[in-house]
Amino acid sequence: MDLLKLVNKSKYKDNKAFQVLFELFYDEVYRIAYLITQSRTMSEDAVQEAFLKAFERLDTLKEPKKFVSWIKSITARCAIDILRQQKCLTVLDEFADYPNGDYISPAVLPQPETEAERRELKAKLREAIYSLNPIHRQVVVLKYYLGFDTREIARTLDLPPGTVKSRLHRALKILNLKISNDKNFPLPVYKTITKKEGTQQ
């Protein structure tokens, strides 16, 4: 059964169809939760909560073909909520040092010559992201894994857009530092682009 049929059946509270969706996308969704929480228990809780919310709200999904991105977004929000409940998110005063006009754009990843090198590159980048503080890691995941824009991240985290930009700036600056200390990692992976004051993202 294809995705559209499974989603449409699930909209009518077909438990078997939704169970198939759960099994099909569990691993993919779990990876998003783990990128944010870096905890197996919290990730499992986030995924369970996300699928429960999705089942209850499927009638609000206007385009069934977007189910995967939709469930990932719900999972990210659930993971962030769980971190908040566990008091794993902290606010650092150093964020105030970054002007709201700054933002980060990912540079093109260097192209490894072999599939093995490509896998190694992705693994090293993922490891660097795992090592970030939760408040840094979550904005990176929301922007570069889920494709959220600044306003969407701001709504998800209940933050001003300027704070989101500052956190992205800081997060990718830390990633650059971590990666630049790894002599086996091809650079550059990220570069900072400072927008002129008054330019909208």
Say whether 194 sits in a helix, a strand or coil. strand
In terms of pLDDT, which residue wins out, 111 or 68?
68
Domain positions in the chain are: 3-85, 93-194
> Is CATH 1.10.645.10 the right assignment for the domain spanning 93-194?
no
d(CA 188, CA 151): 27
Least confident of 117-121, 184-188, 190-194: 190-194
What is 3-85's CATH number, 1.10.1740.10, 3.40.30.10, 3.90.1170.50, 3.20.20.70? 1.10.1740.10
pLDDT at position 157? 84
pLDDT in tens, 54-84: 999 998 998 988 999 899 989 998 998 888 7
Residue 18 has pLDDT above 90, yes or no: yes
Distance CA 182, CA 127 (A): 12
pLDDT tier, 87 (very low <50, low <70, confident <90, very high otherwise) = low
Residue 25 banded pLDDT, cuts 50, 70, 90: very high
CA 76 – CA 90 distance, rounded (Å)? 18
Name the percent of the chain lying above pLDDT 90.
29
Sorted by sequence, the CB contacts under 8 Å of residue 98 that are 6+ apart come out as: 165, 166, 169, 170
